[in-house]
Amino acid sequence: MSEHRRKPPRGDGRPGPDAVPQRRAARRRAARQPGPGRRAEPAPGRGGRADRRRAIQQQQPPGRRLIDYPRWGKRGLRRWLPSWRQVLGTFLFVVASGLGVGTYAYATLQIPSPNPSTQQQSNIFYWSDGSVMATKGAMNRQNVELSQVPPLVKWDFLAAENATFYTDSGVDYQGMLRAVYHMVQGGEVQSGSTITQQFVKNTYLTQNQSITRKFKEILISLKIGNQMSKDQILQGYLNSNYYGRGAYGIEAAARAYYHVHAAQLNVSQGAFLTATVNEPSVMMLADSDPKAKAQAEGRWQYVLHRMVVIHQISQAQYDQLMKQGFPTPKPYTPSAGMNGQTGYLVDTAEQYVKAHANLTDAQLNHGGYQIYTTFDKKKVQELAASVDAMRKKNLNPTIRPVDKDVQVGAASVDPSTGALVAIYGGAGFDKGHWTNNADTVGVPVGSTFKPVDLSAALEHGAVLSPGAAPSTITPDSKFNADDGIEIKNQEGHLIPDGTDPTGFLHQQNDDNTKWGYISLRKAMINSVNTPYVQLGEYVGYDHVEKMAEAVGLPRKSLQYDTAGFYIGTSTPNAMDMADAYATFDDNGVHHDVYSVSKVVNNSAPIPGFATHQDDQVMASTTANAVTNVLKDVVDQGTGANAKALGRPAAGKTGTTDDYKSAWFIGYTPQLVTSVTMFKEKPNGGLEGMAGVGGEPKVYGANMPTDVWLGYMQAALAGQPVKDFPPMPDLGKGSDETGAPAPSASPSTSPSPSPSASASTSPSPSASTPCRGPNGDCVSPSPTVSSTDGSTTGGGWTGGGLLGGPTGGGATTSSPTPTPTSGGPGNKNP
């Protein structure tokens, strides 16, 4: 600084010229010194901006910051370590926040609807012996009540999975942590969840492993625990688990592994099923894979040991179970499908269940039904084998195209109960044949209807003269059996010919044999049509129709009031016809034919299946008389091929015009079986079977009887030989007006006499186009004489005639009925 600026102060006491700047500099220096409320500034020229920032941070007083972090006044690592107050505060904040979020989530959580797949169940169909016939449904599960599970089996699961189940809140936090620890250590896999949590996971959530899913599982488990009882939760758990072998739920598992119901499991088997829950893919092979079996045995032993620990079994019981050994599962067989006859059996049973339990298709298809059928597995197989044998012997579409599309249907009934023991429905669903041939409509029954005429006549008599009271009829009553006779009604009027209003019906037989007046027994033996058409008119349509319904033929299958009605234009199915003949077999008692004996849904039996309607629909003398006549049909008539059965049998053949259907229905005291055969047109309807099997004509006496015979021989093997009741004494019956007196000789002897055996019958000829070994066939185009002497075609002449709605001189024609499965109005046994 220059000399002239360092002048001394003035002598008058006032500052000199340099005093003011010096004081100002002093004040500035003082302001830079730290003090209360002041910020220290770094000395000029020392460090940069970062040094000044750190200095400011170190000198910041704690009272000026909301959160003292990094910590004021600390250096090094201590500056970044939180204090215990900070740690505690943070912990309490997190806990409080978590509780708040959890409380809010719990309060607002709605328990979701169960997963649709967990509600799906299958329907199980059982054979008459209780073994499984088929499982139908997308999910092999049948829910059962907890009461259906044996107590010790229930505790098998609790011992292994959640011993504190009945006392805990539904969530085991320690268990979850323990499971994580074991998995980290490489130990045995544990679920880490309570049974409640597993039930929630199975029923409401997915199997995904995520924090979100686990959080939902815990919340729902807590909420479920407050809304459902422990038994309800345990029941849901047992029914929702997957046990391997395609089995969901303990009922399906019991069947899959041990072929029993859940209620039949023992504690040892229950211990094995418990083991399958954690590792089903391994345990399901315990019957065949040594490694899987060793692992299964170890887990099984663990479960039983846990039962000792929780005091559900004693040490002595445990030792005994170990001595008995591991309960090896039965060999694994996939659930039965709908192949072969099974599809038809299941369909028949379903129709019966829907009709008798008033269920819709949707309700039944929801699943969960255990349906116990009357079908005998052995008899079903024997019936199918007999049909196959007949086909192999007679039908070869490769060589004879006419053999194509030939169908067989059959049904077999226990006459003492009405139980349907076997049916044959066709080639099988797996072969593309979906129509049940045992339950068709549109296939006329032909002369197999004649026993209904006879039973109605024996019960109600016949008006043989106009205005007279009904006369007593017996099998020995004689009627005109000549070909081409005119048919009269009860008033004595001739039946008009439906095709010509000026003409009258002339009923035709199979041939023009001059039988004269013959007994109804002889007419049945030789299947002569005219006596039974006239008999039906004298008895009256109403009486015959009511008798047909009484023996089990559905009203909608019956032809309306025509002459052809009496010789089989109606179209009941094979099950209906077996039902009707069972009434004759059981002394006139009609049992409603049935295919299901019991239905269980969610462990509760559905009412209406334990009992069945039984009615005495005709006098036992009437039924036994009809049986006696039908026994003669087998012994010496058109059913003679059935004599090879080697035991007393009764039956009737039936063949329709153009050979569009052929029947044989026969029975012994123990079993009734009906067999029908027909040929379908490619576009629907029926066509004649001439030439089928290399035979010019197809009769009920040949191929249908062959099926009946082969089946009955197998089905009755080993059963005692029984005979029918003897012919009852019906007293003296009346003959048709015009019949010769009993002492007189028959007016005409039949010539030639039809043979009783199919093998010795004359072949059809041009002059007798429908002459056949069973005597059932009738001319497809009969001639009917009119009053003016002209002739017209179209009169029905045989049993089970096709082509028009009226029999015995049809007035119009209609399309040939098409065989289809029974509709809603049909009785579906």
Q: What is the mean pLDDT of residues 33-60?
A: 55
Closest CA relative to residue 652, chosen from 704, 588, 590, 605: 704
Q: What is the CATH code for 446-597+616-729+742-821? A: 3.40.710.10
Specify which of 4-18, 61-75, 537-551 reaches the highest per-range mean pLDDT: 537-551
Beta pairing class for 596-601 and 604-605: antiparallel
According to the model, what pLDDT value does residue 808 have?
A: 34
Please state, as a whole number, how many other Cβ atoms lie within 10 Å of the Cβ of residue 52.
14
Task: Give the span between the Cα atoms of 539 and 455, in whole angstroms.
Answer: 10
The token duo for 602 is: 């969610």
Q: Is the pLDDT of residue 7 over 70?
A: no
Q: At what angle do helices 211-227 and 84-108 cross, to 10 degrees?
A: 60
According to the model, what pLDDT value does residue 325 have?
A: 95
Q: Is the pLDDT of residue 591 over 50?
A: yes
Cβ atoms 605, 598 nearer than 8 A: yes
Cβ-Cβ contacts under 8 Å for 342 (sequence gap 6 or more): 133, 134, 336
Q: In which residue ranges of the chain is CATH 1.10.3810.10 found?
A: 141-324
Q: What is the mean pLDDT of residues 811-825?
A: 39
Q: What is the mean pLDDT of residues 50-60?
A: 58
Q: Is the pLDDT of residue 513 over 70?
A: yes
According to the model, what pLDDT value does residue 12 have?
A: 54
Q: At what angle do helices 315-324 and 267-278 cross, to 10 degrees?
A: 80
Confidence of residue 28 (pLDDT cuts 50, 70, 90): low
Q: Is the pLDDT of residue 196 over 90?
A: no
Longest CA–CA span in the chain (Å) reads 194
Q: Is the pLDDT of residue 176 over 80?
A: no
Task: Give the span between the Cα atoms of 143 and 705, in whole angstroms.
Answer: 46
Q: Is the pLDDT of residue 637 over 60?
A: yes
According to the model, what pLDDT value does residue 54 have?
A: 61
Q: What is the mean pLDDT of residues 32-46?
A: 52
Q: Which of 163-177, 376-390, 580-594, 803-817 has the lowest mean pLDDT?
A: 803-817
Handedness of CA 823, 824, 825, 829 (dihedral sign): positive
- Which three-class secondary structure state does DSSP give residue 299? helix
Q: At what angle do helices 541-550 and 530-539 cross, to 10 degrees?
A: 100
Task: Give the span between the Cα atoms of 18 and 93, in whole angstroms.
Answer: 65
Specify which of 209-218, 254-263, 360-369, 818-827 reaches the highest per-range mean pLDDT: 254-263
- Which three-class secondary structure state does DSSP give residue 281? helix
Q: Is the pLDDT of residue 769 over 80?
A: no
Q: Which residue has the tokens 């969610």?
A: 602
Better pLDDT: 382 or 513:
382
According to the model, what pLDDT value does residue 657 have?
A: 82
Supply the DSSP symbol for 571. Answer: -
Q: Which residue has the tokens 């999910």?
A: 139
Q: What distance lies between CA 718 and its chain's CA centroid?
A: 32
What's the Cα-to-Cα distance from 454 to each of 207, 546, 696, 712, rounded to whole Å? 70, 13, 31, 26
How many residues are listed for the chain in this entry?
A: 829
Q: Is the pLDDT of residue 218 over 90?
A: no
For 672-682, b/e burial (b = at least 16 CB within 10 A) is bbbbbbbbbee
Q: Is the pLDDT of residue 803 over 50?
A: no
Confidence of residue 92 (pLDDT cuts 50, 70, 90): confident
Better pLDDT: 711 or 40:
711
Closest CA relative to residue 803, chosen from 484, 452, 498: 498
Beta pairing class for 485-486 and 506-507: antiparallel
Q: Which CATH number fits domain 141-324: 3.90.950.10, 1.10.630.10, 3.40.50.720, 1.10.3810.10?
A: 1.10.3810.10
CA-atom Rg of the chain in angstroms: 47
Tell me the CA end-to-end span of the chain in Å, nearest whole number: 133
Q: Tens of pLDDT along 664-687?
A: 999 999 999 999 999 988 877 899
Q: What is the mean pLDDT of residues 629-635?
A: 98
Q: What is the mean pLDDT of residues 471-482?
A: 97
Task: Give the span between the Cα atoms of 136 and 169, in whole angstroms.
Answer: 38
Handedness of CA 530, 533, 534, 539 (dihedral sign): positive
The token duo for 338 is: 């709908």
Q: Is the pLDDT of residue 698 over 50?
A: yes
DSSP H or E stretch at residue 784: strand 783-785
Confidence of residue 108 (pLDDT cuts 50, 70, 90): low
Supply the DSSP symbol for 674. Answer: E
Phi-psi sector, 131: left (phi>0), alpha (psi -120 to 50), beta = beta
**Residues above pLDDT 90, as percent of the chain:** 55
Q: Tens of pLDDT along 576-587?
A: 999 999 999 999
Q: What is the mean pLDDT of the chain?
A: 81
Closest CA relative to residue 564, chosen from 507, 625, 504, 638: 507
Confidence of residue 336 (pLDDT cuts 50, 70, 90): low
Q: Is the pLDDT of residue 767 over 60?
A: no
For 695-732, b/e burial (b = at least 16 CB within 10 A) is bebbbbbbbbbbbbbbbbeebbeeeeeeebeebbebee
Q: In which residue ranges of the chain is CATH 3.40.710.10 found?
A: 446-597+616-729+742-821
According to the model, what pLDDT value does residue 1 have?
A: 46
Q: At what angle do helices 151-161 and 195-204 cross, to 10 degrees?
A: 100
Supply the DSSP symbol for 719. Answer: S
According to the model, what pLDDT value does residue 113 have?
A: 63
Q: Is the pLDDT of residue 363 over 60?
A: yes
- Which three-class secondary structure state does DSSP give residue 751? coil
According to the model, what pLDDT value does residue 249 have?
A: 93
Q: Phi and psi for 674 in degrees, rounded to 5?
A: -115, 140
Better pLDDT: 19 or 368:
368
Supply the DSSP symbol for 448. Answer: G
Question: What does pTM read for this prediction?
Answer: 0.74
Better pLDDT: 609 or 816:
609
Q: What is the mean pLDDT of residues 287-298?
A: 92
Q: Tens of pLDDT along 413-451?
A: 999 999 999 999 999 998 989 899 999 989 999 999 999
| Number of H-type helices and E-type strands within the chain | 24, 22
Cβ atoms 584, 455 nearer than 8 A: yes
Closest CA relative to residue 808, chosen from 364, 447, 506: 506
Q: Is the pLDDT of residue 825 over 60?
A: no
Confidence of residue 793 (pLDDT cuts 50, 70, 90): very low
Better pLDDT: 421 or 2:
421
Better pLDDT: 622 or 499:
622
Cβ atoms 583, 589 nearer than 8 A: yes
Q: What is the mean pLDDT of residues 614-635?
A: 98
The token duo for 195 is: 């049974």
| 724, amino acid identity | F
Q: Phi and psi for 549 in degrees, rounded to 5?
A: -70, -35
The token duo for 581 is: 């003949």
Secondary structure (H, E, C), 315-358: HHHHHHHHHHCCCCCCCCCCCCCCCCCHHHHHHHHHHHHHHHHC
Beta bridge partners of 370: 124, 600
